[in-house]
Amino acid sequence: MHCDFRILNNRQNDVYCKNMKGHLHPISIAISRINAIFHELGFEFADGPLVESEYYNFDALNVPRDHPARDMQDTFWVRGKDETVLRTHTSTVQVRYMESHEPPIRIISPGRVFRNEATDATHEAQFYQVEGLYVDERASLAQLKGLLEYFFTKFYERDVTVRFRPGFFPFVEPGVEVDMLLKKKDGSTAWVEVLGAGMVHPNVLKAGGINPEKYSGFAFGGGIERLLMIGAEIDDVRFFHTGDLRFTHQF
């Protein structure tokens, strides 16, 4: 069907092309759902720049100078701009937000990130992450676990069991790997790693101008495509960025 879009400029006509309906991308749908769920819990949306300073991407997050993530092989460094990178994670929003806000802090920050790595079924050079940050006088891992179980239950619209395993991330201490008990379509169950999390490292709180002797916090972050892949049993992350309508129209 051919549509003459010139007639849309005539405000006297209320017309549309029935066979050319728009459709939200599955990542956009997921971000909208994530924001809505955390908004119910009192979290605010926060955003940050895609082109970021080395300070906010690494230093302020307690990532040491000799950490492998700083290598040219893992990070896109901006040519001609000293100490400037394409952000490698949405954790960059943490310190930026803390610098201008007093506790209690509850933010959620979905957005695009970049990694200098080869593309395959489970890796992309650019993808989407969601970051959560909670800072208050009595933040705890127990609160974090309850929050994530609530989120996953709402997001996947079914009861979800979460477990923590010890993990290491420079910006949290202790750090945990978050697994979700997934029931597959064939009826079997399996633990699946979903995201990383932990208690905000005191050095990160200090970088944000918050007294770690008075306040504590927890943070969590993970790939949005991964959340969708787990829920829909998709085995190749590249489907999300092909622009193939046969894929996107299934969401």
CATH number of the domain at 221, please. Answer: 3.30.930.10
State the 10-residue block means of pLDDT for the chain, 251 residues long: 43 54 87 97 97 95 79 78 90 97 98 92 93 97 97 93 95 97 81 96 98 98 95 89 84 83
In a domain, 47, yes or no: yes
- Amino acid 1: pLDDT: 38
In a domain, 76, yes or no: yes
- Amino acid 5: pLDDT: 39
Q: How many domains does the chain have?
A: 1
Domain of 105 in residue numbering reads as 23-139+201-248
- Amino acid 6: pLDDT: 47
What angle, rounded to 10 degrees, do the helices at 224-232 and 141-156 form? 50
Amino acid identity of residue 139, one-letter, is: A
- Amino acid 122: pLDDT: 87
In a domain, 195, yes or no: no
In a domain, 168, yes or no: no
- Amino acid 39: pLDDT: 97
- Amino acid 2: pLDDT: 43
- Amino acid 4: pLDDT: 44
In a domain, 44, yes or no: yes
pTM of the model: 0.87
In a domain, 129, yes or no: yes
- Amino acid 199: pLDDT: 99
In a domain, 81, yes or no: yes
- Amino acid 208: pLDDT: 98
Q: Residues 105, 217: contact at Cβ < 8 Å?
A: yes
- Amino acid 170: pLDDT: 92
- Amino acid 182: pLDDT: 82
Question: Cα separation of 8 and 38, whole Å?
Answer: 37
In a domain, 7, yes or no: no
Q: Residues 55, 87: contact at Cβ < 8 Å?
A: no
